[in-house]
Amino acid sequence: MRNRHVLALTLATAATTLAAVATSFPAAAATAAPPGTTARKATERCPQLSHKLTWYGDNRARLQRMIDERGTCSNPGLRHGDKRPVAAFDWDNTVVKNDVTDLTIAWALRHDKILRPKSWKSTSKWMTDAAHQALTKACGTSVPVGRPLPTSTDTACADEIFEIREDGKTMSGEAAFAGTWNHRRTVPQYAWVPQIFTGHTVHEVESYARKARKEALAAPVGATQTVGTHTIPGYARYYEQQRDLIRTLKKAGFDVYIVSAGSEPVAEVWAGGKSGVGIDRKHTIAIRSVLDGKGRITPWNQGCGGVPVSKGEAIPYIDGKRCWINQEIFGVKGKAAWHKQRWDRRIALGGGDADTDVTFVGDATGAHLVLNRNKSEFMCRAYDNADGRWVVNPMFIEPLPQKSGTYPCSTSAYNAPDGSRGPVLRADGSVVPDQRDSVH
């Protein structure tokens, strides 16, 4: 079994023979099946998505068709050792409503679980002097290094920590992070989440996640909580449609993974077991902290695609999610893991809700499932629907209203590696025209 926070995982490659493609999912050249591929005659009843759960439009039928084509319905050999098709889902706001990492941080702050570092600047390679000074001033120096900060009562300290995590700024509005990083491989305030748990064991962080989870699931839909002076969501819910989709995919012979830009111990707590969605640790990929000799979390993270251990330069974020999927699921080594793979070394289904998911969801060969949270680059890809396989659904709980105007696909929706914005381009280099929000 892998060391889930220190060692890289190499799993068996996962692919499947493409069945005949239904007309509602026309395949573009980039996702076409290998020549000569044909569907096998179904020899057993296909696992079915529940008709008691509401999906937008014909989305259930479209997803069911993909499951039938790629799963055991058309490929009975999947039950006898054939390589399985892979489905991968983002976690926060894709499988559950609200951000479980934020809920865990909020619980930790309300219960004095953040340990004072020797230097705040040591927690992130990109932290600015302004952020270091703001945290030092707000949280003080009277608490010994390595001991819990009194964030349940020290509003200023809790505020600075949460503001930097949430917006990458101090409470006074100064940038908390600066320098150079690839904006399609990482974002410092995401990488900072496991870093602020430095000094804790994985077991301790898991216990905080469980307690936060219990509170959030018990709170009514719409509930809020206060952290410092921040008001944030205080509840979470598993989307029953996604729980059912994951269960059906597994019954149909798919290997199902979670790929999250959150902290891995937190994602594992929420994903695993009968009370979660039944996805085990081996199938959960998130930011992996390096542990010290005593099993405690350090500010260092595991790397991907030839990027070594670092303080967060290659986390599962935008192109980073592709890298981690290629490396951990399909066994692609080195720099090649950053590149789109051939058809039989890509996931069959990808599901997400934000720009951080656009690359890996776009790599899927069977269906690209999008929960609409009005994220520009992602929605430009989804509404352009270049291969006819994009499945757009409103959020299942508290969906957003229709976005006014159009998504700026032709000018500024693309997140460039240097942090600038540009047009969203198709595979052939043509510009995606601005798109109107139509599924809400």
Q: Which amino acid is at 391?
A: V
What does the pLDDT read at residue 78? 80
Nearest to 174 by CA among 122, 237, 132: 132
Q: Which long-range contacts (CB under 8 A, 24 or more apart) does 149-154 make?
A: 149/112, 149/114, 149/115, 149/116, 150/112, 151/108, 151/109, 151/110, 151/112, 151/114, 151/228, 152/109, 152/110, 152/111, 152/112
What does the pLDDT read at residue 11? 33
Q: How far apart are CA 266 and CA 273, in angstroms?
A: 13
CA angle 277, 278, 283 (to 5 degrees): 105
Q: How far apart are CA 194 and CA 299, in angstroms?
A: 7
The tokens for 169 are 């700024």
Query: What is the number of other CB atoms lying within 10 angstroms of the CB of residue 264?
Result: 25
Which residues have a Cβ under 8 Å from the Cβ of 132 and sit 6 or more positions away?
A: 119, 120, 121
User: In 172-267, at which residue ranges do the beta strands (DSSP E only) sit?
Assistant: 224-227, 230-233, 237-238, 255-263
Query: What is the number of other CB atoms lying within 10 angstroms of the CB of residue 83?
Result: 16
What does the pLDDT read at residue 24? 41
SS3 of residue 381 by DSSP? helix
Q: Sketch out the chain's domains with CATH numbers.
A: 47-95+239-436 (3.40.50.1000), 100-233 (no CATH)
The tokens for 135 are 């945290």
pLDDT in tens, the chain (440 residues): 444 444 333 333 333 333 333 334 443 333 444 443 444 444 357 899 999 999 999 999 999 999 999 999 998 878 766 789 999 999 999 999 999 999 999 999 999 999 999 999 999 999 999 999 999 999 999 999 999 999 999 999 999 999 999 999 999 999 999 999 999 999 999 999 999 999 999 999 999 999 999 999 999 999 999 999 999 999 999 999 999 999 999 999 999 999 999 999 999 999 998 889 999 999 999 999 999 999 999 999 999 999 999 999 999 999 999 999 999 999 999 999 999 999 999 999 999 999 999 999 999 999 999 999 999 999 999 999 999 999 999 999 999 999 999 999 999 999 999 999 999 999 999 999 999 999 99
SS3 of residue 351 by DSSP? strand
